[in-house]
Amino acid sequence: MNFGGQTPTIVVLKEGTDTSQGRGQIISNINACLAIQDTIRPTLGPLGSDILIVGSKGDTTISNDGATILKLLDVVHPAAKVLVDISRSQDAEVGDGTTSVTVIAGELLRESKAFVEEGVSTHIVAKGYRKAALLAVNKIKELAVTIDRSNPTEFRDLLEKCAATAMSSKLIHRNDALFKKMAVDAVLALDQDDLDEKMIGVKKISGGNLEDSFLVDGVAFKKTFSYAGFEQQPKAFTNPKIVTLNVELELKAEKDNAEVRIEQVSEYQAIVDAEWKIIYDKLEAIYNTGAQIVLSKLPIGDLATQYFADRNVFCAGRVTADDLDRVVSAVGGSVQSTCTDIKPEYLGTCEKFEERQIGGERFNLFSGCPKAKTCTLVLRGGADQFIEEVERSMHDAIMIVKRAVKNNSVVAGGGAIEMELSRYLREYSRTIAGKQQLVIAAFAKALEVIPRQLCDNAGFDATDLLNRLRMRHGRGEVWAGIDFENEDIANNMEKFVWEPALVKVNAIQSAAEAACLILSVDETVKNEESPAQGAGTGARGRGRGRGMPMM
């Protein structure tokens, strides 16, 4: 067969498969990431705006937390999803800086776009970015100020200042005097070896004022479903003994497939009596332990409720597993799966137990727990969306305090550390030759996006303030940053605008890695017809050979 010297067209992908590659594809990916950056950048900083997101079912969320916004945006572009992933990673690893990491990654891509358009290999750009990120991280570690932990008052002061900085861009910043203390108390109440933030319970109660929020140095949970006789039980104890069970204290009907053959009515009565004797033996065994509070994961029926009420014992059944685990970690003892042979060491205790009305709900509060390695935040507020945002804000502050406890080195916020790193990298770039000089200088310029965006969001003159910041840092004023109170430049270390160094290290590393990953992808293959076979959306990097893209 003669094709007239021409190579025949060979089809390797299904009909309907969309492929795009080359420089145009890289620029397209960069533009998608810049769209994400443009969406989220107005939320940066203490004077950033909030975003109202309406879900497909009409549910609304008001937030300025980067990770929350990106999670709810439902991004479909495969390259832009990388920015969503690094924001979530920052949230999980550090807890704060989720907006910063996305804005820095987007700005790195914006700076790299000019290189790509001029035909510079993306490998050269990625190599320069990785080098600049390594230099920046080492510089942060060199500049970071370590706080002496030997003085508890000073160390607590450090933690409160870090929490206040984390809250400065949040909804609760006007009440930071209350909430920064709550965040620090919550973290210091945990086991200092593992600092598991899951042991901090959060209960949200609509109504009341934000200032009505408080911290319980133990456990608080909503009153569980109760049976007749519950109101006759005492609702407050001092130094009670507490038993925690995984036992059902209820008379159960016979199963549908149960069969009992009897010949006389007295035999039926013996069966009924045996059932009652079993539950009474259980209740008596619990009462004989001396416990004044009985908690169980399983139901506690009306017979048991009345039995305990007659003996001035408080009981609560159907306590959730999370709440019961936190009760055990606070009051001591252990969960029992039987009512027999409950020894005194299996019981817990606390200084005070009370059932209290909070808003429209009744809560059981265990406070003054001797073995407390847990605590509960009770958050109040007018609207549900408001309380949800308060919870997200407190999560960020708690995570920052947790990181500051483990790594007690801090840097100044308000754009100070970014401007110092920018100055350092710009000076370093002048000492090397070739394209790397331009790439590292571009990285230095990209870092200035943080102070510039902080100024823009606050309505300040960004050009003027950035010029003055460059001049100050050129003189050696390492901690010069934006002063939001006076629309000026100030020493943010002296103004106590502090952030854990780990936040900045993680943000720069993640942003640089994300930028390098997106730059390495020069071909996208979309196969809309066979998502079940795992061929949904694929992306290929430049570094691999050009064979068949995806099949």
Active site residues: 65, 98-99, 396
Q: Which of 546, 541, 550 is nearest to 517 (CA)?
A: 541
Q: What does the DSSP 8-state code read for residue 253?
A: P
- The three-point CA angle 118-124-127 to 5° equals 145
272-304 burial code (b ≥16 CB/10 A, e <16): eeeeeeebeebbeebbebebbbbbbbebbbebb
CB 189 within 8 A of CB 377: no
Q: Which tokens sit at 197?
A: 């933030």
92: number of Cβ within 10 Å:
11
Residue 171 and residue 386: Cα distance in Å, rounded?
8
Put the strands of the sheet holding 521-526 in their side by side order.
18-21, 521-526, 537-541
Joined together, the tokens standing for residue 227 give 């049976």
Closest listed residue to residue 489, CA positions, set 507, 509, 466, 512? 466
What the block records as the tokens of 369 is 């727990």
Cα separation, 135 vs 140, in Å, equals 9
Q: Beta partners for 525?
A: 19, 538
Amino acid type, 242: I
Tokens for 409, please give them: 């080195």
Eight-class DSSP state of 249 = B
Instruction: Give the C-alpha separation, 336 to 349, whole Å.
Output: 15
d(CA 1, CA 79): 44
Tokens of 542: 């430049």
DSSP assignments along 492-542, one per residue:
TTTTT-EEEHHHHHHHHHHHHHHHHHHHHEEEEEE-SS-GGGT-SEEEEET
Q: CA 203 to CA 221: how far, in whole Å?
A: 7
Query: Is residue 489 packed enough to be buried (19+ CB in 10 Å), middle (13-18) or exposed (0-12)?
Result: buried
The helix (H) or strand (E) run that includes residue 418 is helix 416-429
Question: How crowded is residue 17: how many other Cβ atoms within 10 Å of its Cβ?
Answer: 18
Distance CA 108, CA 447 (A): 8
